[in-house]
Copies of this chain bind each other. A is one copy, B any other.
Amino acid sequence: MHDSLKFPFSSEDRLEPEDAARALKAVEALIAGYKERFAVLVERDNKGHSIIHEPVVDYLTELRWVLEDMHPADLAYVLEALPLEDRLLVWDQVKSTLDGAVLLEVNDSVRETLISSMDRAQLVSAIAALEAEQIAELAPDLPRDVVEEVASSMPLQEREQLRAVMSYPDDCVGARMDFEMVTIRDDVSLEVVLRYLRRFDELPDHTDQIFVVDRENIFRGALPLQKLLVNEPDRQVIDVMHQDVLQLGPLDDVGEAAQAFERYDLVSAPVVDAAGKLVGRLTIDEVVDVIREEGEEQVLAGVGLREEEDIFSGLWNAVKNRAPWLLLNLLTASFAAFVVSRFETTVEKIVILSALMGIVAGIGGNSGNQTMTLIIRALALGQVTPSNIRRLVQKEFLVTGFIGLGGGLIAALFAWTLSRSITLGLVMWAAMMLNLLVGAAMGLAVPIIRARMGYDPAVGSSVLLTFATDSMGFFIFLGLASLFLL
């Protein structure tokens, strides 16, 4: 049966975007074959027959073959998509030389499961093969002594690089930079540069420019490879190099650096310290990761998830990830319920209010969330400035007021249909309008104030908003009803 399985791709085939998905299918089929056969064998054994090991081993051998030629990123993809038990079966078959590279590619929670399945020696040998900045990336998930053992056996320069990267906060350029750059002096000809480059076996990935420094390693400029290639070899570096290159500081915010990469379509940028010394470089692959992470964080934060969840992560991890936000929502919902309970006599007399009040609260929250999402985005792009904030506020209230007029009318008609009371309809209309304005006010104020105070405006803002629109929605609607209908 399993002979019909095609190896997902070989180097003669063309690589395609769907390759990883095909590899996953092949791996799943092999694991299924392995498990099935294994189960059959165990059954036979219970009946007293002897165990034939070979067919099972066959599946594992073929699995190893499949895994052997896979790109570490594809392996990471396959491991992420497998349930824990299958994941560890596959992980045991991965060649140990790839271990470090795969650990770099998998997401945090899968990385945890893989690392906890490895012993100290395996970890040390997996990590030792990596570059300083890669080790720094894995360090938070590794046992402290493993990192130290690896560091102690590194050359002095790399050890210092490792310390440097690990010393910067996670959201700084310094924590994301690498050190694999080619540097030259400015007083040589392109011919000399070309000869110098031929002494390399290969250039670091994403080398689109060579950095020009002086004797003290002070950054002078950059020589794009394309300039090196289109200019005559007898020209001097100083005449050809670019001096107005985007330079990053190690403490620059990495999100802002990413925006600069996007704006100027960069592939790499030098990282230069306060003294003007070239200390590293940031490359587009890290920037792509940053952009992806930022997008995901915002999506996850929107529903109160603190981190990406391994879809097969343990029950306890998943509960820990999700419960705090739900608990917070439970508290705010309870407060809203408390508000309603204060209007017990009103609701007792006009029961239909209990059906209608949820509409007022809900739409206020929905509309406020729209406002808030747009403001968070404008804040992230730096489009909210002291001089335009008044117009922004004006516009939001106008739009919301307009929507409130229309939406409130529909809600009022619905209220009238249920109750046949024109006064109740008018109360509904007024309450909708007012609560939509509460939503707009909160949608504007919460992210702007949080950003001013230095917090990430995306996280937790929607809980605060819903808290306000729920409680205020009930209060406004039931309050108006008490005034005009009792």
Contacts and interface: CB of A to CB of B under 8 A. Distances in A.
Given A197-B229, A202-B227, 11 more contacts: A71-B263, A82-B388, A206-B208, A262-B289, A305-B373, A312-B388, A333-B359, A341-B355, A341-B418, A344-B352, A348-B351
A130 to B, nearest CB: 15
A206 B32 CA distance: 43
Interface in A317-365: 318-319, 322-323, 325-327, 329-330, 333-334, 336-338, 340-341, 344, 347-348, 351-359, 361-363
A226 B268 CA distance: 15
Given A208-B208, A247-B15, A311-B383, A263 B202 contact: no
Please list the 8 inter-chain residue pairs (A to B) with the smallest Cβ-Cβ separation, ordered nearest first: A295-B295, A354-B354, A73-B263, A340-B355, A203-B226, A17-B260, A81-B383, A341-B355
A43 interface: no
Contact of A398 (B227, B315, B470): B315
A212 to B, nearest CB: 14
A428 to B, nearest CB: 11
Contact of A305 (B249, B311, B374): B374
Q: How many copies does the complex hold?
A: 2
Contacts of A338: 355, 418
Contact of A202 (B15, B230, B261, B403): B230
Contacts of A287: 288
A15 B246 contact: yes
Contacts of A387: 28, 32
A392 interface: yes
Contacts of A398: 315
A231 interface: yes
A456 interface: no
A325 B25 CA distance: 38
Contacts of A208: 206, 208, 267
B326 A399 contact: no
Contacts of A383: 77, 80-81, 311
Contact of A198 (B231, B327, B347, B359): B231
12 contacts: A17-B248, A81-B385, A202-B227, A203-B226, A294-B295, A295-B299, A312-B391, A323-B403, A337-B358, A337-B418, A340-B354, A358-B361
Contacts of A93: none
A257 to B, nearest CB: 5
B303 A243 contact: no
Nearest to A382: B21
A97 interface: no
Interface in A270-286: 272, 284-285
Interface in A284-310: 284-285, 287-289, 291-292, 294-296, 298-300, 302-305, 308-309
Contacts of A288: 261-262, 284, 287-288, 291
Interface of A: 11-18, 20-21, 24-25, 28, 32, 71, 73-74, 77, 80-83, 105, 194, 197-198, 200-203, 205-208, 225-232, 243-249, 252-253, 256-257, 259-265, 267, 272, 284-285, 287-289, 291-292, 294-296, 298-300, 302-305, 308-309, 311-312, 315, 318-319, 322-323, 325-327, 329-330, 333-334, 336-338, 340-341, 344, 347-348, 351-359, 361-363, 366-367, 369-370, 372-374, 377-378, 381-385, 387-388, 391-392, 395, 398-399, 402-403, 406-407, 410-411, 414, 418, 470
A257 B351 contact: no
B359 A244 contact: no
B73 A264 contact: yes
Contacts of A81: 381-383, 385, 388
B334 A370 contact: no
A319 B401 CA distance: 10
Contacts of A257: 17
Contact of A256 (B17, B410, B470): B17
B395 A312 contact: yes
A261 B285 CA distance: 9
A458 to B, nearest CB: 9
Nearest to A362: B333
A12 B227 CA distance: 20
A17 B259 contact: yes
Contacts of A200: 230
A71 B264 contact: yes
A15 to B, nearest CB: 4
